[in-house]
Homo-oligomer: A and B are copies of this chain.
Amino acid sequence: MSLFLLIDILGTIAFSISGVLTALKKRMDIFGIFIIAFVTAAGGGTLRDVLIDANITWMRNLTFVYVIAASAVFAIIFRKKLGYVRKSLFLFDTIGIALYTVVGVEKGIAAGLPPLICIALGTMTACFGGVIRDILCNEIPIIFRKEIYATACIAGGVAYFALLKTTLSEDIIVIIAGSIVITIRLLAVTFKLSLPSIYNKRELTEEP
């Protein structure tokens, strides 16, 4: 099994479990939980493929459908004990968004789209599964309020295009761009960083 496939599967597991946890909070039934796990893991890539009119991967390659279903069953059974693997999940999630970002950027390049749109597609691949999850759970998407993922993905995408102008091989570019996503995300979480707030104190305390 290639390293990329392994990373992809670990990321899918982390996204799927994050979907299960959100669905459990909303007291959904088993069917609802599976749907939310599925859209969290596969929704960003699906939206990307619809927009660029590409074939949707999970419809022809069932590997990820099985991974998502198995992770969801695991998460439902061991939901009381997921606290013990929280750190592993966070790590899987972080390398997952790094890979998803790079995959999205490369799909955009393959479709002949301009760099800015490729970066947007990378960010969408990594972040919009969570957006669809939150909409289906009747919440304002968390990444629109406390930005956790998106800035890291955008930075990774920008780095990808900057490195394309060097003589580095594609593999090295992928690894550096992915590492930038991972580093920014780890720093943001470690130091509780978020985007600079544009609201003053009065705005944040008064009734929106």
Contacts and interface: CB of A to CB of B under 8 A. Distances in A.
A144 B28 contact: yes
Contact of A29 (B26, B46, B114, B197): B197
A192 to B, nearest CB: 14
A144 B36 contact: yes
B25 A147 contact: no
B60 A56 contact: no
Contacts of A196: 30
Interface in A67-116: 76, 113-114, 116
Interface in A134-158: 135-141, 143-147, 150-151
A170 to B, nearest CB: 23
A52 interface: yes
Given A30-B196, A31-B195, 16 more contacts: A27-B145, A29-B145, A29-B146, A29-B198, A30-B198, A32-B143, A32-B144, A32-B147, A33-B198, A51-B56, A59-B117, A60-B113, A62-B114, A62-B117, A65-B116, A136-B141
A151 B34 CA distance: 12
Interface residues of A, number: 53
A51 B50 contact: yes
B145 A60 contact: no
A132 B56 CA distance: 21
A172 interface: no
A178 B110 CA distance: 39
A27 B204 contact: yes
A26 B140 contact: yes
Contacts of A30: 147, 195-196, 198
**Assembly of this chain: how many copies?**
3
Interface string A112-137: 01101100000000000001000111
Nearest to A121: B59
A136 B113 CA distance: 26
Interface string A20-60: 00010111111111011000000000100011110110111
A59 B113 contact: yes
